[in-house]
Amino acid sequence: MINQTRRLLTRAATVAAVLMWTAAGPAAADVSWAGSDPTSNFTSFNQSACFNAGAGASGACLSAAVAALDQARAWLGKPPYVLPRDFDSLTPGEQEFVLADLDRVQYGLTPIPGISGGLSADAAAGVTADADPRPSASGVSDYTSNWAGGYPNVLYAYLGWMYDDGPGSNNEDCTPANTSGCWGHRHDILSQFNPTVGPLAMGVAAGEDRNGKPGYTMLLAQLAHADKLAYTYTWAQALADGASTPYAAAPTRYVSVTLGRPQLQQGGYLSFTARLSAGAGTVNATAASGGSTVRFSVSRVGPAFRCLARLHPGTWRLTVTVAAQNGFRAPPPTVLILHLIPA
Protein backbone atom coordinates (compact mmCIF):
# COMPACT_ATOMS: atom_id res chain seq x y z
CA MET A 1 0.00 0.00 0.00
CA ILE A 2 1.15 3.51 -0.77
CA ASN A 3 0.82 5.56 2.38
CA GLN A 4 3.35 8.32 2.21
CA THR A 5 3.49 11.98 3.20
CA ARG A 6 6.12 14.63 2.58
CA ARG A 7 6.67 18.15 3.88
CA LEU A 8 8.48 21.06 2.24
CA LEU A 9 9.00 24.21 4.27
CA THR A 10 10.34 27.64 3.42
CA ARG A 11 11.00 29.77 6.46
CA ALA A 12 13.47 32.26 7.95
CA ALA A 13 16.60 31.12 9.74
CA THR A 14 18.09 33.21 12.56
CA VAL A 15 20.37 35.21 10.31
CA ALA A 16 19.02 34.53 6.82
CA ALA A 17 15.49 34.35 5.50
CA VAL A 18 13.99 32.38 2.63
CA LEU A 19 15.80 29.07 3.02
CA MET A 20 14.06 25.84 2.11
CA TRP A 21 14.15 22.49 3.81
CA THR A 22 11.88 19.52 4.30
CA ALA A 23 10.72 17.19 7.03
CA ALA A 24 9.30 14.02 5.58
CA GLY A 25 6.64 11.80 7.06
CA PRO A 26 6.82 8.02 7.22
CA ALA A 27 7.91 6.34 3.99
CA ALA A 28 6.39 3.14 2.69
CA ALA A 29 8.67 0.43 1.40
CA ASP A 30 6.46 -0.49 -1.57
CA VAL A 31 6.11 2.95 -3.14
CA SER A 32 7.06 3.06 -6.82
CA TRP A 33 7.19 6.04 -9.14
CA ALA A 34 7.81 6.90 -12.77
CA GLY A 35 10.90 8.43 -14.31
CA SER A 36 14.38 8.85 -12.88
CA ASP A 37 15.53 11.36 -10.31
CA PRO A 38 17.27 14.54 -11.54
CA THR A 39 21.03 14.52 -11.07
CA SER A 40 20.91 17.80 -9.13
CA ASN A 41 18.46 20.43 -7.89
CA PHE A 42 17.08 23.21 -10.03
CA THR A 43 17.33 26.31 -7.84
CA SER A 44 17.77 29.07 -10.41
CA PHE A 45 14.40 30.72 -10.07
CA ASN A 46 13.42 34.21 -8.96
CA GLN A 47 10.30 34.49 -6.82
CA SER A 48 10.35 38.28 -6.44
CA ALA A 49 7.64 38.89 -9.09
CA CYS A 50 5.23 36.92 -6.91
CA PHE A 51 5.84 38.53 -3.53
CA ASN A 52 2.46 39.64 -2.14
CA ALA A 53 0.70 38.30 -5.26
CA GLY A 54 -1.50 35.75 -3.48
CA ALA A 55 -1.66 31.98 -3.48
CA GLY A 56 -2.42 31.65 -7.20
CA ALA A 57 -0.55 33.12 -10.15
CA SER A 58 -1.55 35.65 -12.82
CA GLY A 59 0.02 38.50 -14.77
CA ALA A 60 3.76 39.09 -14.29
CA CYS A 61 3.85 36.58 -11.44
CA LEU A 62 2.33 33.86 -13.64
CA SER A 63 4.80 34.59 -16.44
CA ALA A 64 7.78 34.39 -14.07
CA ALA A 65 6.60 31.20 -12.38
CA VAL A 66 5.74 29.38 -15.62
CA ALA A 67 9.09 30.46 -17.12
CA ALA A 68 10.86 28.92 -14.11
CA LEU A 69 8.86 25.69 -14.46
CA ASP A 70 9.64 25.53 -18.19
CA GLN A 71 13.34 26.09 -17.51
CA ALA A 72 13.30 23.31 -14.93
CA ARG A 73 11.73 20.98 -17.47
CA ALA A 74 14.16 22.01 -20.22
CA TRP A 75 17.03 21.39 -17.81
CA LEU A 76 15.84 17.76 -17.73
CA GLY A 77 15.46 17.66 -21.50
CA LYS A 78 11.66 17.82 -21.34
CA PRO A 79 9.30 20.05 -23.36
CA PRO A 80 7.62 23.09 -21.78
CA TYR A 81 4.29 22.93 -19.98
CA VAL A 82 1.32 23.49 -22.31
CA LEU A 83 -1.26 25.01 -19.99
CA PRO A 84 -4.99 25.45 -20.53
CA ARG A 85 -5.95 28.84 -21.93
CA ASP A 86 -7.79 29.79 -18.74
CA PHE A 87 -4.92 28.79 -16.43
CA ASP A 88 -4.64 32.28 -14.94
CA SER A 89 -8.29 32.21 -13.89
CA LEU A 90 -8.13 28.78 -12.24
CA THR A 91 -7.99 28.50 -8.47
CA PRO A 92 -4.57 27.81 -6.92
CA GLY A 93 -5.65 24.24 -6.27
CA GLU A 94 -6.78 23.76 -9.86
CA GLN A 95 -3.45 25.16 -11.09
CA GLU A 96 -1.66 22.66 -8.87
CA PHE A 97 -3.82 19.82 -10.21
CA VAL A 98 -3.12 20.73 -13.86
CA LEU A 99 0.65 20.83 -13.31
CA ALA A 100 0.63 17.45 -11.57
CA ASP A 101 -1.39 15.78 -14.31
CA LEU A 102 0.79 17.31 -17.04
CA ASP A 103 3.82 15.77 -15.36
CA ARG A 104 2.10 12.44 -14.78
CA VAL A 105 1.19 12.19 -18.48
CA GLN A 106 4.68 13.32 -19.49
CA TYR A 107 6.12 10.35 -17.61
CA GLY A 108 3.61 7.86 -19.01
CA LEU A 109 1.33 7.68 -15.98
CA THR A 110 -2.45 7.72 -15.82
CA PRO A 111 -3.64 11.28 -15.13
CA ILE A 112 -5.77 11.86 -12.05
CA PRO A 113 -9.31 12.27 -13.48
CA GLY A 114 -10.35 15.11 -11.22
CA ILE A 115 -10.35 17.02 -7.97
CA SER A 116 -12.45 15.60 -5.14
CA GLY A 117 -14.24 18.03 -2.83
CA GLY A 118 -13.87 15.65 0.10
CA LEU A 119 -10.16 15.13 -0.43
CA SER A 120 -9.70 18.89 -0.90
CA ALA A 121 -11.33 19.44 2.50
CA ASP A 122 -8.73 17.07 3.93
CA ALA A 123 -6.02 18.99 2.06
CA ALA A 124 -7.33 22.28 3.48
CA ALA A 125 -7.14 20.85 6.99
CA GLY A 126 -3.48 20.12 6.33
CA VAL A 127 -2.87 23.75 5.32
CA THR A 128 -4.53 25.02 8.50
CA ALA A 129 -2.54 22.66 10.73
CA ASP A 130 0.80 22.93 8.88
CA ALA A 131 0.58 19.17 8.46
CA ASP A 132 0.61 16.54 5.75
CA PRO A 133 -2.99 15.92 4.65
CA ARG A 134 -4.51 12.52 5.21
CA PRO A 135 -7.82 11.19 3.84
CA SER A 136 -10.54 11.21 6.47
CA ALA A 137 -13.11 9.07 4.65
CA SER A 138 -13.14 5.30 4.53
CA GLY A 139 -12.61 3.44 1.28
CA VAL A 140 -9.21 4.96 0.40
CA SER A 141 -6.85 2.12 -0.49
CA ASP A 142 -3.66 4.05 -1.34
CA TYR A 143 -2.54 7.67 -1.09
CA THR A 144 0.43 10.01 -1.14
CA SER A 145 0.51 13.62 0.05
CA ASN A 146 2.73 16.70 0.10
CA TRP A 147 2.72 19.90 2.15
CA ALA A 148 4.68 23.11 1.54
CA GLY A 149 4.84 26.36 3.47
CA GLY A 150 6.21 29.84 2.94
CA TYR A 151 6.32 29.98 -0.86
CA PRO A 152 4.78 33.07 -2.52
CA ASN A 153 2.32 30.92 -4.47
CA VAL A 154 1.40 27.38 -5.40
CA LEU A 155 3.45 27.30 -8.62
CA TYR A 156 6.71 27.83 -6.74
CA ALA A 157 5.68 25.30 -4.09
CA TYR A 158 5.10 22.81 -6.92
CA LEU A 159 8.48 23.68 -8.45
CA GLY A 160 10.10 22.88 -5.10
CA TRP A 161 8.32 19.54 -4.92
CA MET A 162 9.32 18.48 -8.43
CA TYR A 163 12.71 20.06 -9.09
CA ASP A 164 14.45 21.13 -5.85
CA ASP A 165 14.25 18.17 -3.47
CA GLY A 166 17.40 16.10 -3.95
CA PRO A 167 20.90 15.84 -2.47
CA GLY A 168 22.29 19.27 -1.65
CA SER A 169 18.84 20.77 -1.14
CA ASN A 170 17.43 21.65 2.26
CA ASN A 171 15.42 18.43 2.38
CA GLU A 172 15.94 17.28 5.96
CA ASP A 173 15.09 13.72 4.93
CA CYS A 174 17.84 13.74 2.28
CA THR A 175 21.27 13.66 3.90
CA PRO A 176 24.65 12.22 2.86
CA ALA A 177 24.18 9.52 5.49
CA ASN A 178 20.60 8.69 4.46
CA THR A 179 19.38 9.44 0.95
CA SER A 180 16.14 7.45 1.20
CA GLY A 181 14.02 10.60 1.35
CA CYS A 182 15.67 12.39 -1.57
CA TRP A 183 13.17 13.47 -4.24
CA GLY A 184 10.31 12.18 -2.08
CA HIS A 185 7.89 14.96 -3.07
CA ARG A 186 8.55 14.26 -6.75
CA HIS A 187 8.01 10.55 -6.14
CA ASP A 188 4.63 11.29 -4.52
CA ILE A 189 3.42 13.25 -7.55
CA LEU A 190 4.66 10.55 -9.95
CA SER A 191 3.41 7.61 -7.87
CA GLN A 192 2.30 4.57 -9.85
CA PHE A 193 -1.10 3.42 -8.61
CA ASN A 194 -2.50 -0.01 -9.50
CA PRO A 195 -5.14 0.67 -12.18
CA THR A 196 -7.13 -2.43 -11.20
CA VAL A 197 -7.81 -1.31 -7.61
CA GLY A 198 -10.16 1.64 -8.08
CA PRO A 199 -10.63 5.22 -9.30
CA LEU A 200 -8.13 8.01 -8.63
CA ALA A 201 -8.82 11.48 -7.25
CA MET A 202 -6.85 14.43 -5.98
CA GLY A 203 -7.34 16.83 -3.11
CA VAL A 204 -5.70 20.26 -3.34
CA ALA A 205 -5.58 23.34 -1.15
CA ALA A 206 -3.82 26.67 -0.81
CA GLY A 207 -4.35 29.11 2.03
CA GLU A 208 -3.04 30.21 5.40
CA ASP A 209 -2.33 28.38 8.63
CA ARG A 210 -3.53 29.51 12.04
CA ASN A 211 -0.74 32.11 12.15
CA GLY A 212 -1.54 33.62 8.77
CA LYS A 213 1.39 31.92 6.99
CA PRO A 214 0.89 30.57 3.44
CA GLY A 215 0.68 26.85 2.89
CA TYR A 216 -0.07 24.41 0.07
CA THR A 217 -1.07 20.76 0.03
CA MET A 218 -1.71 17.96 -2.43
CA LEU A 219 -3.35 14.60 -1.70
CA LEU A 220 -3.37 11.86 -4.36
CA ALA A 221 -5.65 8.96 -3.49
CA GLN A 222 -6.99 5.73 -4.92
CA LEU A 223 -10.44 4.72 -3.80
CA ALA A 224 -11.68 1.18 -3.42
CA HIS A 225 -14.93 2.11 -5.20
CA ALA A 226 -16.47 5.02 -7.09
CA ASP A 227 -19.58 5.46 -4.98
CA LYS A 228 -20.37 9.12 -4.30
CA LEU A 229 -17.18 10.25 -6.06
CA ALA A 230 -17.82 13.63 -7.67
CA TYR A 231 -15.16 15.83 -9.23
CA THR A 232 -15.20 19.62 -8.84
CA TYR A 233 -12.72 20.13 -11.71
CA THR A 234 -11.50 17.51 -14.18
CA TRP A 235 -8.58 16.68 -16.40
CA ALA A 236 -11.06 16.54 -19.28
CA GLN A 237 -11.86 20.21 -18.67
CA ALA A 238 -8.18 21.11 -18.72
CA LEU A 239 -7.71 19.23 -22.00
CA ALA A 240 -10.75 20.93 -23.54
CA ASP A 241 -9.21 24.31 -22.63
CA GLY A 242 -5.91 23.52 -24.36
CA ALA A 243 -3.72 21.62 -21.91
CA SER A 244 -1.47 19.09 -23.62
CA THR A 245 1.83 17.31 -23.20
CA PRO A 246 4.21 17.16 -26.17
CA TYR A 247 6.60 14.26 -25.92
CA ALA A 248 9.61 15.61 -27.77
CA ALA A 249 11.58 18.83 -27.76
CA ALA A 250 15.16 19.77 -28.41
CA PRO A 251 16.74 19.95 -24.97
CA THR A 252 18.27 23.25 -23.84
CA ARG A 253 21.21 22.82 -21.52
CA TYR A 254 20.70 25.12 -18.55
CA VAL A 255 23.19 25.68 -15.77
CA SER A 256 21.67 25.08 -12.34
CA VAL A 257 23.03 26.80 -9.23
CA THR A 258 22.66 25.38 -5.71
CA LEU A 259 23.30 27.75 -2.81
CA GLY A 260 24.57 26.68 0.58
CA ARG A 261 23.05 28.14 3.74
CA PRO A 262 24.38 31.69 4.40
CA GLN A 263 26.52 31.89 7.54
CA LEU A 264 27.44 34.94 9.66
CA GLN A 265 31.07 35.16 10.70
CA GLN A 266 33.03 37.38 13.05
CA GLY A 267 33.32 40.99 12.02
CA GLY A 268 29.91 41.09 10.33
CA TYR A 269 30.94 39.00 7.32
CA LEU A 270 28.37 36.84 5.54
CA SER A 271 29.48 33.83 3.50
CA PHE A 272 27.79 31.16 1.43
CA THR A 273 28.74 28.64 -1.24
CA ALA A 274 27.37 28.19 -4.75
CA ARG A 275 27.67 25.06 -6.86
CA LEU A 276 26.97 24.92 -10.59
CA SER A 277 25.75 21.87 -12.47
CA ALA A 278 28.45 20.58 -14.83
CA GLY A 279 30.77 23.34 -13.60
CA ALA A 280 29.80 25.28 -16.69
CA GLY A 281 30.14 28.89 -15.59
CA THR A 282 31.11 31.43 -12.97
CA VAL A 283 29.19 33.11 -10.15
CA ASN A 284 28.61 36.75 -9.16
CA ALA A 285 26.75 37.95 -6.07
CA THR A 286 25.57 41.32 -4.77
CA ALA A 287 23.50 42.43 -1.79
CA ALA A 288 21.38 45.60 -1.70
CA SER A 289 19.87 47.38 1.30
CA GLY A 290 18.33 50.82 1.05
CA GLY A 291 20.54 52.80 -1.29
CA SER A 292 23.70 50.76 -0.82
CA THR A 293 24.93 47.77 -2.80
CA VAL A 294 27.74 45.44 -1.72
CA ARG A 295 29.54 43.11 -4.11
CA PHE A 296 30.66 39.76 -2.75
CA SER A 297 34.21 38.54 -3.28
CA VAL A 298 34.04 35.17 -5.05
CA SER A 299 36.72 32.51 -4.89
CA ARG A 300 36.83 28.97 -6.22
CA VAL A 301 37.02 26.29 -3.51
CA GLY A 302 37.13 22.86 -5.10
CA PRO A 303 33.90 22.29 -7.07
CA ALA A 304 32.14 25.25 -5.40
CA PHE A 305 32.37 29.02 -5.31
CA ARG A 306 32.76 30.76 -1.92
CA CYS A 307 31.07 34.18 -1.69
CA LEU A 308 32.03 36.60 1.11
CA ALA A 309 30.98 40.16 1.99
CA ARG A 310 30.68 42.37 5.05
CA LEU A 311 27.07 43.41 5.71
CA HIS A 312 25.57 45.53 8.47
CA PRO A 313 22.44 44.32 10.34
CA GLY A 314 19.18 44.84 8.47
CA THR A 315 17.27 43.48 5.50
CA TRP A 316 19.26 42.73 2.36
CA ARG A 317 18.28 41.55 -1.10
CA LEU A 318 20.86 38.98 -2.21
CA THR A 319 21.14 38.42 -5.98
CA VAL A 320 23.24 35.60 -7.40
CA THR A 321 23.88 35.51 -11.15
CA VAL A 322 25.66 32.97 -13.33
CA ALA A 323 27.80 33.56 -16.41
CA ALA A 324 27.36 30.34 -18.39
CA GLN A 325 30.11 28.69 -20.43
CA ASN A 326 30.70 25.75 -22.76
CA GLY A 327 27.42 26.14 -24.65
CA PHE A 328 25.21 26.13 -21.56
CA ARG A 329 22.47 28.70 -21.01
CA ALA A 330 22.50 30.87 -17.90
CA PRO A 331 19.51 30.62 -15.54
CA PRO A 332 17.64 33.70 -14.30
CA PRO A 333 19.10 35.37 -11.19
CA THR A 334 18.49 33.68 -7.84
CA VAL A 335 17.16 36.16 -5.26
CA LEU A 336 17.06 35.67 -1.49
CA ILE A 337 15.82 38.11 1.15
CA LEU A 338 18.20 38.10 4.14
CA HIS A 339 17.29 39.43 7.58
CA LEU A 340 20.52 40.00 9.51
CA ILE A 341 19.83 40.31 13.21
CA PRO A 342 22.42 42.04 15.46
CA ALA A 343 23.89 39.84 18.17
pLDDT at position 299 is 94
- What pLDDT, on the 0 to 100 scale, is given for residue 204? 97
Q: Which CATH class is domain 257-340?
A: mainly beta
Q: Can you give the pLDDT at residue 53?
A: 61
Phi-psi map region of 139: left, alpha, beta (phi>0 left; psi -120 to 50 alpha): left
Which residues in the chain are classed under CATH 2.60.40.1930? Answer: 257-340
Closest CA to 283 of 306, 254, 252: 306
Per-residue pLDDT of the chain (343 residues; tens, 9 = 90+): 344 445 454 422 222 222 232 333 322 324 478 888 898 898 877 777 777 665 555 678 888 889 999 999 998 989 999 999 999 999 999 999 999 999 999 988 889 999 999 999 999 999 999 888 999 988 888 899 999 888 888 999 999 899 998 888 767 677 888 888 889 989 999 998 876 778 999 999 999 999 988 899 999 999 877 666 789 999 999 999 999 876 544 445 667 778 888 888 888 899 999 888 765 688 999 999 988 999 999 998 877 899 999 999 999 999 999 887 766 777 778 888 888 877 6
In whole angstroms, give the CA distance from residue 81 to residue 170: 26
Cα 156 from Cα 171, distance rounded (Å): 16
- Report the b/e string of 104-114 with b at 16+ CB within 10 A: bbbbebebbbb
Q: Burial letters for 229-259: b for 16+ Cβ neighbours within 10 Å, e otherwise?
A: bebbbbbebbbeeebebeeeeeeeebbbbbb
| Residue 250 confidence (pLDDT) | 41
Distances (CA, A) of 324 to 65, 281, 283, 298: 22, 4, 9, 16
Nearest to 217 by CA among 234, 231, 203: 203
How much is the pLDDT for 337? 86
Q: What is the pLDDT of residue 278?
A: 60
Q: Residue 325, exposed/middle/buried by CB under 10 A (0-12, 13-18, 19+)?
A: middle
Q: What's the pLDDT score for residue 62?
A: 86
The rounded distance, in Å, linking the Cα atoms of 13 and 264 is 11
Q: What is the pLDDT of residue 52?
A: 66
Predicted TM-score (pTM) of this structure = 0.67
